[in-house]
Amino acid sequence: MSSAPSSPSSAPAAGRIASVDALRGFDMFWIVGGQAALLAVLGIFFNPIPEGLKAQLGHVPWEGFTAWDLIMPLFLFVVGVAMPLAFAKRAEQGETIGKVYLRILRRVAVLWVLGMAVQGHLLEADRQWVHIFSNTLQAIAVGYLVASILLIHLPIWGQAIGTVLLLVGYWLLMLLVPFGGHAAGTLEEKVNLAMYIDEWVLGPFRDGTTYTWLLSGMGFASTVLLGVLAGHLLRSQWSGVMKVVWLALLGGLCLALGWFWAGGFDGLEELGGVTLVGEWRFPIIKHLFTSSMVLWAAGWSYLLLALFYLVIDVLGQRWFGYAFQVIGANAIFAYVAWQLFHGSFQNVANVLLGGVVRYFGTLPSPMPEIAKALGPLGALVVFWLVLYYMVRKGTFLRV
């Protein structure tokens, strides 16, 4: 396999990196109750919560980007970061290419079925249709499959070129290909090439949202591959400080490129004789996983990874991310379990804290506001304790 970096990035023995688990857990934290818990805590201090702050904890309707929009691409990015470590371990254990591919295909299949299940679309009884492609886990499956093939068969520079080709190829398709009587480059919510292809291929099996999946798979794959490149960097023999510097530089570069590609220079007609705005613009649209969005999200992902790696692995402050590591150690299990059973964790919290909540409700402000926050916080703590118990018992559920 070609997953081992070449000089000067020849890797040490493969092993887990604490900051990667912590960043994965940080991302998952917001999905498994962190968002609701934060909104509940903010409700203690603000009534109402400032719109600008609240907006960062929700998705934009179409064009643009918020902190909450980072959750899905960061998830894909971290999957990519872990891949060079995992593939190097398999290579050291002497696994054949055939066994590696069987492992890859098994993981893709499991992720696909779990994605259908957690969205409630495994068998949609009211529509009598199966929603084939409608979930983050399936996006991970597509990105993981493509990235795996490149990781196995290409050197690092080939993987980097593959990432660029996916980003540019997706842009050119969306920019240049007319469809269904519409002009090339149309990027409206329900009128765009990616949506057209989804409707043409999937038909009634679509999920009915403005998210697109098939052509957007090029964006999913490039997001995972950008994470793969970060994983190679972490496996290199460079010092920890140099790794942080390079992660930060790559983060800044991705942010700049994403901003420029989205039309960040809009309003400036020319700079040094070069036209900076025009038909080349590819807006940041998460529903389409546009190339500019991929780069913008990857920029923040690189910077977050740099921060976590600096604090946890370079400075040795492992306490900083331990609570997140507990979640990240069983991330896919955490995602599926919360999606399927979060009501049960909420019920347990209500039983345990019900008396306190009722008593606080009889007291002067801010105690009633605190009482309202105890429910979401309690559900999150109960779920975290389950994950902590699994870690303590050495139970790690992988797909």
Q: What is the pLDDT of residues 95-147, one digit of tens each?
A: 889 999 999 999 999 998 888 877 655 544 444 456 677 788 999 999 999 99
Beta-strand runs (E) in the chain: 270-271, 274-275
Phi, psi at residue 35, to the nearest 5°? -60, -50
Q: What percent of the chain has pLDDT over 90?
A: 60
Question: What Rg value do the Cα atoms of the chain yield, rounded?
Answer: 22
Domain boundaries, the chain: 18-30+64-350
* Pairwise CA distance, residues 67 & 57, whole Å: 7
In which element (H, E) is residue 340 found?
A: helix 331-360
6: pLDDT strictly greater than 80: no
290: pLDDT strictly greater than 80: yes
Q: Are 151 and 80 in contact (CB under 8 A)?
A: no
Q: What is the pLDDT of residue 205?
A: 78
Rounded mean pLDDT, 161-177:
96
Q: Which of 6-10, 96-100, 218-222, 371-375 has the lowest mean pLDDT?
A: 6-10
Give the model confidence (pLDDT) of 311-326 as tens digits. 999 999 988 899 999 9
**Residue with the larger pLDDT of the pair 147 and 341:** 147
Q: Are 329 and 295 in contact (CB under 8 A)?
A: no
Q: What percent of the chain has pLDDT over 70?
A: 89
Rounded to two decimals, what is the model's pTM? 0.90
What's the pLDDT band for 154 if we cut at 50, 70, 90? Answer: very high
* Pairwise CA distance, residues 71 & 79, whole Å: 13
Strands 274-275 and 270-271: antiparallel
5: pLDDT strictly greater than 50: no
Give the model confidence (pLDDT) of 40-87 as tens digits. 888 888 888 888 888 898 899 999 999 999 999 999 999 999 999 999
Tokens of 179: 């469809």
Across the strands, what pairs with 124? 129
Across the chain, what does the average pLDDT equal? 88
What's the pLDDT band for 273 if we cut at 50, 70, 90? Answer: low
Q: What is the pLDDT of residue 3?
A: 41
Q: What is the pLDDT of residue 95?
A: 86
Q: What is the pLDDT of residue 133?
A: 76
Q: Are 92 and 235 in contact (CB under 8 A)?
A: no
What's the pLDDT band for 266 if we cut at 50, 70, 90? Answer: low
Identify the three-state secondary structure at position 249: helix
Rounded mean pLDDT, 17-36:
93
Q: What is the pLDDT of residue 274?
A: 63
